[in-house]
Amino acid sequence: MWKPGTGSLIDFRVWIGRIWGRTWLAFAAGILVCGISLPAQAGGPIETSVFAVQGVDVDVTSTDATAAKNQALMDVQVKAFYQLVEKLGTPELAADLQTKLKPEDIVPYLRSLSIEQETSAPGRYIGKFTVRFLPAKMQKFFEDYGINVPTRQAEPILILPVWRGADANKMWEDNGWRKAWLDLNGEQGLVPLIVPLGDLEDTETLTVEDALHNDPIKLEAIRKRYGAPSLLVAQAQPQADGGLHVYIEGETRLGKVTFNKIYKADDNQPESAAAGAVAKFQELIQNTYKKREAKVAAAAEAEKNANRTQGMAVAVPFGSPREWNAIRSRILTTPNVIGVDLTTLSAEGAVIKLMFSRSLEDLTGNLERAGLRLSQYGSTWVIQPM
């Protein structure tokens, strides 16, 4: 059901050129687009790029509306940058960088801006933006701080937020629990969390009671509508003390999810607790994905190293040309041996450059199975019959 959306897009290089008094036409070679735009429930596109931040608010006053907008365009990218660092990195890193980086240090990481909403008045500009950053530059930026961000998003999870209120259970109606999931803009995360639109087709497909009773046919129907491989029913029930009991359990492509905890906010409001619970769930699911991707990357690197060709100088003593030919033949037929280059040859032995893949340990074991022993004497490696 997802179709490419549209948005009012600003090539940040163009307006930066204007603000800084440069000839901006040279920059206008094309509009930059990052990620996929999907139709949102309330009018603006949903951004699915890991390196994009949606719903960034700015409110600036200045001498006139134009000056206010120019300042807002600078402020919004700075604000979005630190939000991205906090999301993909850590809050501590974001706080530390705010004391070190200037706005002009952030500009090179920007790719484009989309205006979601804007209003202006004399001397004031209010806007909401989607801010996109350059993936390769941001990847390198995080690597410099020892943070490995996966290069791709996980497969999405469809979230069905169910509010278990004292008067009635709610899923499609407005409530604090559904609002918390919508405000998360979870489609942008490393693990995209999609909240259904709640339109007529959704409400006719699935009722709140169907979700609570795990109706397999109706849950499968709405999962297919959104094309998400996994679906989770996320339940929240307000407590008498202002806390919120959150219960999310189910199977995903990342494994079994069990999330069962009571959250309480400082203001003792369930709506505030809902925002904290949703953010914590996203953090946990993204950390699970990061760990899995780190293992995959480590395995790929190990495989790459295993298949990398290595070479070493090896002495091969022998008593006759016939023995040399026999030893050389066994070496060449040993698994993982790629080649034998003759360096020197005499009546008593040869020095070869032995080319092999995988590890030295693997080579030693394979040679032993071929009836040859690889030993080291001082700095010299020697192959001889066992």
Residue 226 has pLDDT above 70, yes or no: yes
Contact 233, 169 (CB under 8 A): no
The CATH class, in words, for 157-305 is alpha beta
Instruction: List, for residues 57-75, the tens digit of each pLDDT value.
Output: 999 999 998 899 999 999 9
- pLDDT (0 to 100) of residue 188: 75
Between CA 69 and CA 10 the distance in angstroms is: 13
Domain ranges across the chain: 8-144, 157-305, 307-385
Instruction: List, for residues 326-360, the tens digit of each pLDDT value.
Output: 999 999 999 989 889 999 999 889 999 999 988 88
Contact 84, 94 (CB under 8 A): no
Above pLDDT 90, what percent of the chain?
A: 58
Between CA 213 and CA 211 the distance in angstroms is: 5
Question: What residue ranges in the chain does DSSP mark as E strands?
Answer: 8-10, 37-39, 45-47, 52-61, 110-121, 124-133, 157-164, 169-170, 193-194, 230-238, 244-252, 255-263, 310-317, 337-345, 349-356, 372-377, 380-385
The CATH number of the domain covering residues in 307-385: 3.30.70.100
User: Model confidence at 267, in pLDDT bands (50, 70, 90)?
Assistant: confident
Lowest mean pLDDT among 149-153, 271-275, 278-282, 310-314: 149-153
Would you list the DSSP string of 320-383?
SHHHHHHHHHHHHTSTTEEEEEEEEE-SSEEEEEEEE-S-HHHHHHHHHHTTEEEEEETTEEEE
Instruction: List, for residues 175-217, the tens digit of each pLDDT value.
Output: 999 999 998 888 878 899 999 999 999 999 999 999 999 999 9
Phi, psi at 248, each rounded to 5°: -135, 120
- Do 307-385 and 157-305 fall under one CATH topology? no
- Provide the β-strand partners of residue 260: 247
- pLDDT (0 to 100) of residue 206: 96
Number of helices and strands in the chain (H, E) = 12, 17
When the pLDDT of each residue in the chain is averaged and rounded to a whole number, the result is 84
